[in-house]
Amino acid sequence: MTTSTKGLEGIVATQSSISSIIDDQLSYVGYKIDDLAVKSSFEEVIYLLWNLKLPTEDELARIKTELAENMEIPNAVIEHLRSYDLSTVHPMAALRTAVSLLGLYDSEADVMDPEANKRKAIRIQAKIATIVAAFSRIRNGQDPVKPKKNLGYAENFLYMLNGKEAEDIEIEAINKALVLHADHELNASTFTARVCVATLSDIYSGITAAISALKGPLHGGANENVMKMLTEIGEEENAIPYIEEKLKNKEKIMGMGHRVYQNGDPRAKHLKKMSEELTKLTGQEKWYNMSVEIEEYVKESKGLPANVDFYSASVYHSLGIDHDLFTPIFAVSRTSGWLAHILEQYDNNRLIRPRAEYTGPELQDYVELPQRG
């Protein structure tokens, strides 16, 4: 048997037409992330990932309408969110449970034909934003806000989160973040989703499994930990001494470096620009300035450039978003990619069943219980 590779690093596990990372260039269905980040809406990217082509004007209008019309969540899910111990539960745990619960209220949950799966994909993508916003408001002693059917996806999310319509720059920032996080080839949560549905389990199971994988701090929690680090540093003059001490103790600097990029994450520069604009607008320039100092120092001393999580932290913070909501917002975006991969897996399915390299003892003789010393 072939020997194992720790973490499956470098192993090609499947074929996919959804996204690629080639020569440090991320693309969705062949479209460069730089173009999509600047020119497209999140709804366009959802359509692109699910249909492997950019939408026409009519197709874009249709998916926008379908998403807006399906954003409301069952009252039973809202009441379930109210029942949590809101002083201790992490939003990712709440999201994981609520998405699983959604499946109980979908009459097509176990209908597996392609058209039903597309309808469920719309419902899940629409409702996951509402769940995150509702949980946030309930936790803060506020009532959930119903979505507006005339608002786009990013705008609706901010409206449900804050109870008021957002400024253009805020909508632009969230839309850009959603586009940049939408898919990333065969990452841990996407692979988890594909393994789950390869058993022919339903879409809700696949998304719940993916959320569970994203919950881990080595995958989805990086931007939350970046903001925790910046908060601990406090002021700009403390940044380099803090990082020097971390590096001296061989501690990981969150948001720096990426396993699949050798020369830098192509997504980072877009959120870096948004961070600069938003922190200046809100009078919180120190978070951007501190981030730039850290990025330059770590890149110079360790050869590690910033990844997409590094600047998304200060972007979300500038928007007044609670730090522990950063990963759930990541999940809102990545759900589009998870669903694309789930649909692709269903279309050409084979049970995913790798082997393990055995490292235990050789075959042994069974010893009867009385003779065991």
Q: Which long-range contacts (CB under 8 A, 24 or more apart) does 48-52 make?
A: 49/18, 49/19, 49/182, 49/183, 49/336, 49/337, 49/339, 49/340, 50/118, 50/121, 50/336, 50/339, 50/340, 50/343, 52/17, 52/18
Q: Is 184 a catalytic residue?
A: no
**Cα–Cα nearest to 329, from 160, 144, 141:** 160
Residue 255's H or E segment, with its range, is: none
The answer to whether 186 and 298 have CB atoms below 8 angstroms apart is no
**Spatial distance between the Cα atoms of 177 and 150, rounded to a whole number of angstroms:** 21
| b/e burial code for range 211-241 (CB count within 10 A of at least 16 → b) | bbbbbeeebbbbbbbbbebbeebeeeeebee
Query: Is residue 47 classed exposed, middle or buried when 0-12, 13-18 and 19+ CB atoms within 10 A define those classes?
Result: buried
Helix locations, the chain, DSSP H: 33-39, 42-51, 57-69, 75-82, 91-102, 114-139, 153-162, 168-181, 188-197, 203-214, 222-233, 239-248, 268-281, 285-302, 308-318, 326-347
252 contacts: CB under 8 Å, gap ≥ 6: 246
Among 202, 270, 309, 317, the one annotated catalytic: 309
Among 181, 184, 258, 341, the one annotated catalytic: 258
Write down how long the chain is: 373
Residues in a beta bridge with 256: 306
3-state secondary structure of 329: helix
Phi-psi region of 243 (alpha: psi -120 to 50; beta: other; left: phi over 0): alpha
Q: Is 24 a catalytic residue?
A: no
Catalytic amino acids? Answer: 258, 309
